[in-house]
Homo-oligomer: A and B are copies of this chain.
């Protein structure tokens, strides 16, 4: 099946967790909003958000069309794709664990976003710079260590070899964790170069995922949108400790 992926065409954002899974899983997919042509581009993206006839509309991008199904919420899309792309374990207990990790990554990512948008996503960063500075201090001092410390512990306690978070094989949770580390390094280079070494297993996970052949090919390709100051992870030096 050819999947149709719908997300903003110029940012990684929350869509990147899905793009990474599609790429690492070798899926046949098209990235609708990045394609030229009628009913592609932004017109295509809006189709299932604003269409009056859509029975089960997503609240926001990203969403995935798989046959007749339209699936929204990145963690939910990964719940669906995981088993189909060989990126989720087999048993229910293991799948719930990977999903739990993904949801916790989602919480972390929400907080990373709100660092530059503490008052509201509808306002520009420039309208909330002062509040962002305060929030960034708390995020760097308390939240980054709490989340990274947690995920480092998850890696330590996984008895399977391979260096992944759940069991012995790479899951969509590992792909998402790679993206978080890459994003934090982009947004908070000073903080991460100072403190990254406290989380050796996470840093090794980042490199391990980046080195997988399909992931590496994707990262080198034009399909990988570079980090920028419109996405989730933004580099504003004044927020970096």
Contact = CB atoms under 8 A, between A and B. Distances in A.
A139 B104 CA distance: 24
- The number of times this chain is found in the oligomer is 2
Contacts of A103: 73, 75-76
B59 A150 contact: yes
Interface string A135-162: 1001100110001001001100101000
Chain A interface SS verdict (over half): helix
A100 B119 contact: no
Contacts of A59: 104, 107, 147, 150
B96 A123 contact: no
A32 interface: no
A71 B96 CA distance: 7
B157 A135 contact: no
A6 to B, nearest CB: 14
A118 B75 CA distance: 24
Interface stretch (A50-58, A181-189, A202-210): A50-58
Contact of A120 (B57, B79, B142): B142
Contacts of A100: 56, 58, 71-73, 76
B104 A73 contact: yes
Nearest to A143: B120
B118 A138 contact: no
Contacts of A128: 134
Contacts of A229: none
Contacts of A143: 120
8 contacts: A56-B157, A57-B150, A69-B93, A72-B100, A75-B103, A79-B96, A114-B114, A119-B138
